[in-house]
Structure formats: C-alpha cells, structure tokens
Amino acid sequence: MTDFHDAVYQRNIIEFVAVAKEYTIFLETADKFPKPEFVEKLHKVLPFLYFKATLLPDLHNTYDDVIEKYVTEEDYLRIKAITEQKLGQHDAYVEEFNEAFKYSDEPVAASISEDLTDIYQDIKDFIMLYRMGTDEIMNDAVWECRNNFKMYWGQKLVNSLRAIHHLYYSEEDLTDESNKVSQAKEDPDNFDNVDTSSWIISQKQQDYNKDLPEEEE
C-alpha cells in the first residue's frame, strides 16, 4: 500500500499550507487594513502563493467520491464583499484571457475581488480538508488543489496580480479613497453622479473607441 503519510507531509506541501493559510486569514481580516497596505500585501502574497502552488507534488486521488466542501455561499459573498469594498473603484480591470474577449467589440470587464474570492474558496476548502489529519483525505485535498490551480484559479491569480501590479506602481493616492461607489450601490439613482473617467475599464473603453474607424455620413 502506498505510504500516504510520507506523501502528504512533504516539505513543499507543508510550505504551501502555510502560505495558503496566510492568504485566507488575510482576506478574512481585509477590512482591518488601510487600502494602500491591503494592495501592498496582495502584491507580495499573490506571487508567493503562485510559486508555492507550482511546487505541489503530482499525487493521485484515492476516492472516487466528490471531495467535501466547506466554504458556503454566505462565506463566499462575505469575503467578496470585504475585498470589493476595500478595492472600491479599482476593483474592475480588463480581462484579456477570456474566450469572450476574442469575440467581443467591447472590453471584457473582470473583478479583482471575484478572482481573489474564487482563489480563497478553493484554498480554504483545501486547508479544512488537510487539517483533518486523515492521510487519504489529505492526499486527495492536495490532488484536487493542484488540479484546480492548473485548470482554474492559477489563471485567476496571475490575472488579478497583473491588475494589482498596475495599481501598486501607479501614482494614484490610495489614501484618499472615495466612498462614492459604495454610496452609489446603495442608491442606484446617484450612480450617474459618480466620476468613472479614471477607472481602468473606462480608460480602456476610451482607447478602444479612438481606434474605431469613423462612420461615414
């Protein structure tokens, strides 16, 4: 019989667990950080998380059943709301690695907070399974997490990191974050009064419109 105990306690797995735990706790407590610090920490933890995920060993699953999930819809929406509110007007970015982008005449908008929460969901489920201490379950948790990284959340991580990189090295003063977006969501009638000209999506749309040929009269 395969020695699952040695397999699931490999150094690369233990180190990934540590980084994954740091990431989940960070998002769960995101409302405690000022926006500049929140962006700075994302700028550091996302590359580290990606790197450690690439080192996960290629294990084989032992159970045919669907692996149990722990993150509820309420948990997901709570984390997404925290990160979305923290990022405010900088939450949206242009998605270039989306199939819809190839066939759309408009820029395809994506959300950093949604990407971060999707990553959180997979990683949190992994941590909850791994901490159970049952070798076979821990093995399958690693197997699923690695597969999901390859097929799903790894791409979301690098996409959101691109947006975070742009934001981190921009000259925008993140300390003067406005609450206009939050207020507009509470009162949709006031959304027209929100200045979106500096938003990434708006700037990309303006650039796109400039490149369009003028219609003949």
Give the pLDDT score at 191.
39
**Residues 6+ away with beta carbon under 8 Å from 146:** 53, 56, 57, 58, 59
pLDDT in tens, 73-109: 999 999 999 999 999 999 999 876 555 555 555 667 8
Per DSSP (E only), the strands in 47-204 are: 92-94, 109-111
pLDDT in tens, 111-146: 999 999 999 999 999 999 999 989 999 999 999 999
Give the pLDDT score at 65.
81
**Selected residue with higher pLDDT from 129 and 177:** 129
**DSSP 8-state assignment for residue 94:** E
Give the pLDDT score at 56.
97
Give the pLDDT score at 105.
59
User: What does CATH list as the number for 4-95+110-174?
Assistant: 1.20.120.1550
pLDDT in tens, 181-192: 444 444 545 434
CA distances (Å), origin 52, targets 5, 12, 48, 72, 92 = 20, 7, 6, 26, 27
Give the pLDDT score at 102.
53
pLDDT at 215 over 70: no
What is the pTM assigned to this prediction?
Answer: 0.77
Give the pLDDT score at 190.
45
CB atoms within 10 A of CB 211: 6
pLDDT at 71 over 60: yes
Q: Give domain limits for the chain.
A: 4-95+110-174
CA distance linking residue 169 with residue 158, whole number of Å: 16
Mean pLDDT is lowest, of 26-35, 44-53, 142-151, 206-215, for 206-215
Mean pLDDT estimate for the chain: 82
